[in-house]
Amino acid sequence: MIIESAEVVVTSPDRNFVTLRVTTDDGLVGLGDATLNGREQSVVAYLAEHVAPLLVGRDAHRIEDTWQFLYRGAYWRRGPVTMAAISAVDVALWDLKAQAAGMPLYQLLGGASRSGLLAYGHASGPDLPSLFDSIRRLLAEGYRAIRVQTSVPGLDRIYGIGGPVAYEPAGRVAAPVEEDWDSRSYLRHLPGVFEAVRAEFGPELPLLHDVHHRLTPIEAARLGRALEPYDLFWLEDCTPAEDQEALRLVRQHTTTPLAIGEVFNSVYDYRQLIADRLIDYVRSAVTHTGGITHLKRILEYAGQYGIKSGIHGPTDISPVGMAAALHLGLAVHNFGIQEYMKHGARTDLVFEQSFSFTDGLMHPGSSPGLGVRLSLDEAGKYPYQTAYLPINRLKDGTLHDW
Ligand code: EZ4
Ligand code: CO
């Protein structure tokens, strides 16, 4: 199974996606998701200029060797652009190997460890009535776990609050939108929101919350403690993630479970967090953490410490990346939960998918490989559009973590 070509396909049906498409002399096509939200073209150049020419002529079966070749061979190890590019190659090769074997990919990863993957959806609203409506809409769609985000009185625009249906992290804008932040207002407001949600929806429903890295360690510790009565499934990204030591302080003060890692790209980002049991869930994306090969390694390491998966799955993970997450999640022993924001209708026409969402559980399906096909005709209708994630400023204009 020799690689004949590796091409990068950029398309923007409902948002931007970068897909690596690897073809072999057997006539098979393997796909990898290389989307890096708001910095897409950097990965396009990395793949097209530096990686694709090296893949042609290689044996597509040699997944581990290719991973090491791209990681060690680059000399400049790690980093989001490099690791997104390696992820795309790795996932495309796993897709090819599983297609060649005539099996869904999870069979090659050890087979199914469960019958379905618990997924959580995103509810948000500017006030309690609209937040409740958003939660009810997700429950009606079948979701059995829900992330709760809400506006904060006094702040005009904050991240992660959608319209009536969903929110899209990056806007199709020429420059980042500037949003507002004030930690004291947020800390005062949020516990009451969870109290109201619990009163309305009862004690059983798993509830999650994402802080988006916006608090100092002592503020995060206080929030974790204040939310304990509402029994969160997890509190996500409570402090800026690059500071592993910060989680130790948070951990000393609260029993609210902690999740972190959507901006990580290597096991080295997790070493202290896992070995010192400072977190409960690994939030990495397959697409940003070196693909299935490397995220499986991280999850096996985490599993030795009772830490579970919570693989990243917002809309900037393409259906290709989502399928990879589902195959890996079905196979690993220490699965926790899967994030799932549905894509738009145009995206579903560009990417034909075999994965399913039924009664709140996801399954990657039984098609050989990843189970996703890319329509080049559909993809070609939607050229790249400039898009950026927003930034966040305090009331005095200081740039803050978002
Ligand atoms: O901000 O995917 O948990 N999910 C999230 C997402 C991320 C975006 C960044 O590209 O925090 O909304
Ligand atoms: Co997040």
Q: What's the pLDDT score for residue 167? A: 78
Note the pLDDT tens digit of each residue in 48-93: 999 999 999 999 999 999 999 999 999 999 999 999 999 999 999 9
C-alpha span between 281 and 337 (Å, rounded): 9
**With contact defined as beta carbons under 8 Å apart, do 80 and 312 qualify?**
no
Ligand 1: which residue has its CA nearest to atom 11? 212
Q: Is 0.85 topped by the overall pTM?
A: yes
168 pLDDT band, cuts 50/70/90, is: confident
Mean local confidence (pLDDT), 219-240? 98
402 pLDDT more than 90: no
161 pLDDT band, cuts 50/70/90, is: confident
**What pairing do the DSSP bridges indicate for beta strands 17-24 and 29-33?**
antiparallel
Note the pLDDT tens digit of each residue in 246-292: 999 999 999 999 999 999 999 999 999 999 999 999 999 999 999 99
Active site residue 212: yes
Mean local confidence (pLDDT), 155-175? 84
Residue 314 Cα to ligand 2 middle (Å) = 8
Ligand at minimal distance from the CA of 236 is: 2
Note the pLDDT tens digit of each residue in 6-59: 999 999 999 999 999 999 999 999 999 999 999 999 999 999 999 999 999 999
Q: What percentage of the chain exceeds 90 in pLDDT?
A: 96
**With contact defined as beta carbons under 8 Å apart, do 354 and 364 qualify?**
yes
Residue 46 Cα to ligand 2 middle (Å) = 26
C-alpha span between 360 and 138 (Å, rounded): 9
Ligand 1 pocket: which of 17, 33, 208, 262 to mutate (most atoms within 8 A of CB): 262
Ligand at minimal distance from the CA of 237 is: 2
Note the pLDDT tens digit of each residue in 289-319: 999 999 999 999 999 999 999 999 999 999 9
Give CA torsion, residues 346, 352, 355, 360, to 10 deg.
20
Active site residue 159: yes
165 pLDDT band, cuts 50/70/90, is: low
**What pairing do the DSSP bridges indicate for beta strands 356-358 and 361-363?**
antiparallel
Ligand 1: which residue has its CA nearest to atom 2? 314
Residue 251 Cα to ligand 1 middle (Å) = 23
Residue 314 Cα to ligand 1 middle (Å) = 6
400 pLDDT more than 70: yes
Which residues does a 6 A CB cutoff place in the pocket of ligand 1? 37, 169, 210, 212, 262, 314, 316, 339, 389
Tokens of 203: 């004690």
Q: Please give the single-letter amino acid code of residue 203.
A: P
185 pLDDT more than 90: yes
Q: What's the pLDDT score for residue 105? A: 99
Chain Cα centroid distance, residue 222: 26
Note the pLDDT tens digit of each residue in 104-134: 999 999 999 999 999 999 999 999 999 999 9
C-alpha span between 236 and 127 (Å, rounded): 21
Q: What's the pLDDT score for residue 164? A: 59
Ligand 1: which residue has its CA nearest to atom 7? 169
Ligand 1 pocket: which of 120, 212, 391 to mutate (most atoms within 8 A of CB): 212
CB-hemisphere CA count at 13 Å for 238? 33
Beta partners for 260?
282
Closest-lying ligand 1 atom to the alpha carbon of residue 402: 1
Residue 147 Cα to ligand 1 middle (Å) = 12
**What pairing do the DSSP bridges indicate for beta strands 281-282 and 308-311?**
parallel
Name the average pLDDT for the chain. Answer: 97
Residue 155 Cα to ligand 2 middle (Å) = 20
Ligand 1 pocket: which of 315, 316, 391 to mutate (most atoms within 8 A of CB): 316
CA neighbor of 178 nearest in space, from 194, 156, 197, 196: 156
Mean local confidence (pLDDT), 368-386? 98
160 pLDDT band, cuts 50/70/90, is: confident
C-alpha span between 178 and 133 (Å, rounded): 27
C-alpha span between 347 and 212 (Å, rounded): 26
Burial of 380: CB neighbours in 10 Å, binned 0-12, 13-18, 19+ = exposed
Q: Of 106, 120, 143, 159, which residue is the catalytic one?
A: 159
163 pLDDT band, cuts 50/70/90, is: low
Closest-lying ligand 1 atom to the alpha carbon of residue 236: 3
